Amino acid sequence: MVCQSPSSKMWVSLVSLLPLVAFALALPSKDCEHKVKEVIVPPRGWTIFGPAPPDHLIKLRIGLPQSNFDVLEEHLYAISDPYHERYGAHLAKEEIEELVAPHPDSVTAVNGWLSSHGIQEADIGRSAAGDWLTIRVPVQLVEKMLDTKYHIWKHTASGEYIVRTTSYSLPKDILDHVELIQPTTMFGTFKRLKSTIHSISKIDPQIQAQNLPPVFDSATGLTVDASCNTTITITCLRQIYNAVGYTPSAKVGNSIGIAGYLEDYANRADLQTFFADQVPAAAAVNATYNFVSVVGGLDPQDPAEAGAESDLDTQFAFGLSFPVASTFFSTAGRPPFIPDIGTPEDTNEPYTDWLDFMLSHPNPPLSISTSYGDDEQTVPESFAKRACAGFAQLGARGVSLMVSSGDGGVGDGDPDPATQECITNDGLNRTQFIPGFPASCPFVTAVGGTILFPEQAVDFSGGGFSNYFSRPSYQEAAVKGFLSKLPKGTYNGLFNPNGRAIPDVAAQSDFFRVFIGGQAFHIGGTSASSPTFAGFVALLNDGRLKKGLPSLGFLNPLFYSKAKSGFNDITVGNNPGCGTEGFNATVGWDAVTGLGTPNFAKLLKLVT
């Protein structure tokens, strides 16, 4: 039985909750024993700025245990294995929701607990499967519900503020009926993944292109314009990845999407300028993208508000895949909470809002890229695993999800031991490589970075091994081979040799010619490689759909088996960080460029 407050029957909807909170908290309540659900050590770099304002509103997300996720996972691996008889037999939205729906006992128990705090059904948002509950409540009520204390925390390096706690508890009667509650202990802010080394630089229009002979790569047998070694365009990518002359269709039900966050907006005028510069067929018909607002995401078209990340993502993903139906998802939320402007509500966690929306979407895009993430250790393991389960649900529906592997090499991008910042958050302050999330989720395709032609690994390419997720079976042979070639004792204790390995694949990631606010810029980072790879996946889906085959869906089991010969093996370069030179690119899979970069023509034959 859930602990009850004698005031629960007197309370009204949370619409009028704020004036009653002080009264409600003062009422006597039945003694209720709480037990700790989660506790963390504050992540390095975050310090307490002050107490959280009592009336500060928190969008509290309560995750109920997904009763049959293990069954869903079995389905996912069966339909993603190219040698399985069920390959490509993706599940329907309703089938997935049935598998992840919580047990009725959990629903009843949590409903009773919420009711005891005056929270009525009308105040609760429920996911399509009922496995996530969302309520908006002031800090002082959350503190009572979770027997905890919230503070404003400040990040020393960035100056960002968030409202969080380092532990929370639940009544013992519902402890096993709740998997996690956030925002509580999550200090990750899912920043844009642009390299701080090769970031954004304006292109000088006065510089004349040099008339150099084309470059030939004996390993791939491909010839590429010499200009591609200084500026990456759609033409360059099609040449480098053997897709010249391939024309996709707009009539086979194909689709591609880009996830945008943190008030970074795509600009249609910039897309038109880009098309005029690089995709004349799209410019000729004034092609554009479909805009979808997620929980109030905006679509301003003022050139001054054009976002570098969103312009990069949409221009290259949609430019490569034109005329495939394209969608830009703008999710509301801003990165920092500013404690001194009186903002009553924290809005810096849009990532899960996007995932909720996509899981409820009747027809999500078949190829999706997101270029946002954070250090794995800033994301509580419970949250990382639950979000990862959401990605698995998308994969089971036939969606391929690409994510950037990160821009810090094996951690902070710094090879100098004297200045490295790769310190664990477990209170032991050990030096350790820092993998990124969501790249570390085994149900996404993590995309690392390359540079130049012939290609080599770019030094900021995120790579390494997860501390949360064990190595999936589809990676076992490839990663064991890589580990067996490492010199004995190399980096002992710096990474988890049994973890999910990052990245899976790679693509060009520097000197991308992007138009922002009407002007041309060079942009670098794995935030470029992920939408690039997503564009080529959309072309592969085009080839399958033309033949009446289903979309590729979750890619990794295919890539590590039947399709591994469709990648260009990258064997030059490394990804320094954490006071080391990082890992080396080598023959076969490596923790810098994964399986390598796509050879589209080869992959197309392998998947059709």
Positions annotated as catalytic residues are 309, 313, 527
150: left (phi over 0), alpha (psi -120 to 50) or beta: beta
DSSP states of 202-214 as a string?
Answer: E--TTSPPP-PPP
Give 44's DSSP letter: T
Nearest alpha carbon to residue 24 among 37, 13, 10: 10
256: left (phi over 0), alpha (psi -120 to 50) or beta: beta
* Burial environment of residue 487 by CB neighbours within 10 A (0 to 12, 13 to 18, 19 or more): exposed
Strand runs labelled E in 72-150: 125-126, 132-138
Neighbour count for residue 56 (Cβ, 10 Å): 20
DSSP H stretches of helix in 12-92: 18-26, 69-80
Give 537's DSSP letter: H
> How many Å from the N-terminal Cα to the C-terminal Cα in the chain?
56
User: b/e map of 117-144 (b: 16 or more CB within 10 Å)?
Assistant: bbbbeebbeebbbbbbbbbebbbbbbbb
Q: Which H or E element spans position 49?
A: strand 46-51
Query: Does the annotation list 569 as a binding residue?
Result: yes
**Strand 325-331 to strand 372-375: parallel, antiparallel, or no bridges (unpaired)?**
unpaired
Query: Does the annotation list 590 as a binding residue?
Result: yes
Distance CA 360, CA 339 (A): 33
Distance CA 124, CA 598 (A): 45
Distance CA 449, CA 434 (A): 17
3-state secondary structure of 175: helix
Q: Which residue has the tokens 């969080």?
A: 164
Query: Does the annotation list 570 as a binding residue?
Result: yes
The two counts, helices (H) then strands (E), for the chain are 15, 29
Q: Which residue has the tokens 């989660």?
A: 38
Spatial contact of 381 and 39, defined as CB atoms under 8 Å apart: no
Nearest alpha carbon to residue 552 among 71, 75, 69, 82: 82
3-state helix, strand, coil in the chain (%, to 5): 30, 25, 45
Query: Does the annotation list 340 as a binding residue?
Result: no
**Tokens in use for 246?**
């391939």
Spatial contact of 422 and 434, defined as CB atoms under 8 Å apart: yes
**Tokens in use for 570?**
């990258």
* Burial environment of residue 83 by CB neighbours within 10 A (0 to 12, 13 to 18, 19 or more): exposed
Query: Distance of CA 177 to CAs 100, 110, 185, 252, 524, Å?
Result: 14, 7, 19, 44, 45
- Binding site, residues? 569-570, 588, 590
- Binding site for Ca(2+), residues? 569-570, 588, 590
